[in-house]
């Protein structure tokens, strides 16, 4: 059995006495044994899923996939998650085992190693009351105030380790409260988080529905984090020093209103003065966010407007944590995440310190064969520094019996200096036309081809991307693609390069096996709607997903 207790290799992550771990694992083993025999036979249900990734790193100095431990020493690595869920008469048990063996998922140029319980929880429904203990995934409102969630593509796993109570006060009003400590991988942060919310669901008449809510949160620093914060403040210039507070309070109010063809969501959040990193030093500032969407839809047309203003709304367990560590919330992204490979390289993330964003979408579908999407996005800082501009057009024609044609165009301006932390680089301006054509030979066999051209004089310069995909449903899928940096820009230090990829997937029942050869340029890479910055990659990738 792996060692989890104090003094062990993983003691600094868990900080849990060994006897507690042994007792829990013994009880869990007994529980699973019972569930699979007597209790299971009486109507319980056991299910689970497995996800596993394996990388083989192939050194390629031409694209800078080299000069780090992955390519120089370990040569292979991966990560896996195995989860089990058991349901029985209002009782729910969840357990998940995580393993990282020379994984590049957290830091794509370094290895991550660890193995143990990534999450577990026990829940029981007692009439109108629901009780959950353990690792809790939940959110308040849209997640601006608090969101504990898992995103394996980004390796975000900030579950709240503690206790949650949820009570249906009436048929229309639900009260929820929880307390605990946030976690990352196998590490549990020491600051205490307490939060509560009240959510309603009301019908105000024919075709009028309202779902209002309010939420409040309190985070309390522990002595160790406060000591580090005080030490950092004392090292700053005397004019920037302040007396930090142990407690931060935050509040949110939100509502979704549906009225006939209209839908309007709005949320406003505020946090009291808190120690956050601004301009490279600790400062004490309050924060606020205002987010709204307004939509209108009828047959053949839909219009949606989105707006957001953010000021110093950094929600972390402590300012001592950076990047994806210590996150307590999630802020909605106004810009659309595009699936096109070249466009996705410059996907803007939501900014917590300073952002003013707006967007408009129009969908026009005059008949069953034609649909047109128009979009404009405008994002600046509060100081009116340009961050992102996008004008986007997409049209789809489905009038042929066996074929679908999609064409589109994007104009984009993107601030690499702030989004990708590249000092003194100019604003990136790019124009990208694209086309996609799908032909169905029969109900099971289809071929899809995708082509993109990006013209820009900044960053890596101009690109051509081509992909051919063959699908033999429901068993097989094959694809070949190439990104060709034919007109290199200032960041392409090795000249014009081809970035080839080959992919195959096989599905049998609930199991899916994938294999790919990948040659990838550094930058933002999006997979399944998940985007993150990655360095250059060269090598093979294997994957398994399964459910039972």
Q: Residue 517 above 90 pLDDT?
A: yes
36 falls within a domain: yes
* Same domain membership, residue 135 and residue 35: no
* pLDDT bucket at 531, cuts 50 / 70 / 90: low
Residue 25 is predicted with a pLDDT of 55
224 falls within a domain: yes
* pLDDT bucket at 471, cuts 50 / 70 / 90: very high
* Same domain membership, residue 30 and residue 170: no
Q: What is the largest CA-CA distance in the chain?
A: 74
Residue 5 is predicted with a pLDDT of 37
* pLDDT bucket at 19, cuts 50 / 70 / 90: very low
* Same domain membership, residue 154 and residue 283: yes
Q: Are 130 and 165 in contact (CB under 8 A)?
A: yes
What average pLDDT does range 212-221 have in this prediction? 98
Residue 282 CA, chain-centre distance (Å), reads 27
- From residue 310, give the alpha-carbon distance in Å to each of 34, 277, 296, 351, 382: 51, 15, 25, 8, 8
Residue 41 is predicted with a pLDDT of 44
* pLDDT tens per residue across span 433-456: 999 999 999 999 999 999 999 999
What average pLDDT does range 192-221 have in this prediction? 95
Q: Residue 3 above 70 pLDDT?
A: no
Domains held by the chain: number: 2
* Same domain membership, residue 325 and residue 183: yes
164 falls within a domain: yes
Residues of the domain holding 36? 1-42
Q: How far apart are CA 221 and CA 293, in angstroms?
A: 34
* pLDDT tens per residue across span 411-428: 999 999 998 888 899 999
Residue 398, exposed/middle/buried by CB under 10 A (0-12, 13-18, 19+)?
A: middle
* Same domain membership, residue 284 and residue 187: yes
246 falls within a domain: yes
* pLDDT bucket at 527, cuts 50 / 70 / 90: low
Residue 15 is predicted with a pLDDT of 45
* Same domain membership, residue 314 and residue 180: yes
* Same domain membership, residue 132 and residue 9: no
Residues near 161 by Cβ (< 8 Å), separated by ≥ 6? 134, 135, 136, 180, 181, 182, 183, 188
Q: How far apart are CA 54 and CA 64, in angstroms?
A: 21
Q: Are 113 and 79 in contact (CB under 8 A)?
A: no
422 falls within a domain: no
- Scanning 423-512, the segments in alpha helix (DSSP H) are none
What average pLDDT does range 144-157 have in this prediction? 92
* Same domain membership, residue 136 and residue 38: no
Residue 6 is predicted with a pLDDT of 38
390 falls within a domain: no
* pLDDT tens per residue across span 278-296: 988 999 999 999 999 999 9
Q: Residue 400 above 90 pLDDT?
A: yes
- Reference 187, options 111, 114, 121; nearest CA is 114
524 falls within a domain: no
* Same domain membership, residue 30 and residue 157: no
Residue 464 is predicted with a pLDDT of 97
* Same domain membership, residue 320 and residue 177: yes
Share of the chain above pLDDT 70, in %: 91
* pLDDT bucket at 154, cuts 50 / 70 / 90: confident
Spell out the long-range contacts of 234-240 with Cβ–Cβ below 8 A and sequence spacing 24 or more: 236/281, 236/282, 240/281, 240/282, 240/283
* pLDDT bucket at 324, cuts 50 / 70 / 90: confident
120 falls within a domain: no
Tokens 């019996």: give the residue: 401
What average pLDDT does range 351-373 have in this prediction? 96
Residue 107 is predicted with a pLDDT of 84
């Amino acid at each position: 059995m792996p060692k989890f207790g104090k003094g062990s290799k993983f003691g600094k992550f868990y900080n849990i006495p060994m006897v507690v771990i042994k007792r829990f694992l013994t009880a869990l083993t007994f529980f699973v044994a019972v569930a699979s025999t007597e209790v299971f036979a009486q109507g319980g249900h056991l299910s689970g899923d497995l996800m596993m990734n394996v990388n083989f790193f192939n050194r390629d100095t031409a694209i800078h996939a080299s000069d780090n431990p992955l390519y120089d020493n370990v040569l292979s690595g991966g990560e896996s998650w195995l989860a089990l869920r058991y349901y029985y008469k209002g009782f729910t048990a969840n357990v998940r085992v995580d393993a990282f063996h020379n994984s590049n998922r957290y830091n794509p140029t370094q290895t991550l190693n660890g193995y143990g319980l990534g999450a577990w929880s026990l829940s029981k429904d007692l009439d109108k009351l629901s009780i959950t203990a353990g690792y809790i995934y939940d959110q308040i409102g849209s997640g601006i105030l608090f969101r504990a969630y898992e995103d394996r593509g980004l390796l975000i796993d900030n579950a709240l380790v503690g206790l949650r109570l949820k009570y249906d006060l009436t048929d229309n009003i639900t009260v929820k409260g929880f307390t605990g400590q946030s976690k990352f991988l196998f590490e549990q942060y020491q600051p205490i988080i307490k939060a509560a919310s009240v959510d309603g669901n009301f019908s105000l008449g024919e075709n009028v529905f309202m779902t209002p809510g309010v939420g409040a949160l309190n985070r309390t620093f522990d002595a160790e984090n406060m000591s580090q914060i005080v030490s950092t403040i004392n090292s700053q210039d005397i004019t920037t020093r302040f007396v930090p507070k142990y407690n931060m309070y935050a509040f949110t109010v939100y509502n979704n209103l549906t009225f006939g063809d209209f839908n309007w969501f709005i949320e406003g959040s505020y946090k009291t003065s808190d120690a956050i990193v601004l301009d490279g030093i600790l400062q004490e500032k309050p924060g606020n966010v205002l987010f709204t969407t307004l939509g209108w839809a009828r047959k053949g047309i839909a219009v949606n407007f989105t707006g957001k203003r953010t000021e110093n709304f950094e929600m972390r367990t402590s300012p001592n944590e950076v990047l994806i560590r210590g996150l307590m919330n999630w802020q909605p992204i106004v810009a659309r995440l595009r699936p096109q490979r070249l466009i996705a390289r410059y996907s803007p993330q939501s900014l917590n310190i300073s952002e003013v964003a707006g967007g408009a979408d129009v969908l026009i579908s005059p008949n069953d064969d034609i649909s047109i999407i128009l979009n404009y996005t405008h994002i600046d800082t509060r100081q009116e520094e340009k961050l992102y501009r996008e004008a986007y057009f997409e049209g789809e024609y489905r009038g042929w019996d066996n074929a679908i044609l999609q064409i589109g165009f994007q104009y984009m301006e993107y601030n690499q200096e702030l989004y990708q932390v590249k000092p003194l680089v100019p604003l990136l301006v790019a124009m990208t036309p694209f086309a996609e054509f799908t032909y169905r030979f029969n109900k099971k066999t289809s071929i899809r081809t995708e082509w993109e051209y990006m013209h820009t004089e900044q960053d890596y310069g101009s690109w051509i991307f081509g992909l051919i995909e063959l699908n033999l449903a429901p068993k097989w899928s094959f694809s070949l693609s190439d990104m060709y940096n034919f007109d290199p820009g200032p960041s392409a230090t090795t000249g014009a390069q081809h970035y080839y990829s080959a992919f195959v997937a096989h599905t049998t029942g609930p199991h899916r096996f994938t294999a790919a050869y990948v040659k990838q340029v550094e930058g933002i890479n999006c997979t399944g709607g998940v985007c993150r910055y990655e360095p250059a990659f060269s090598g093979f990738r294997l994957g398994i997903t399964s459910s039972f």
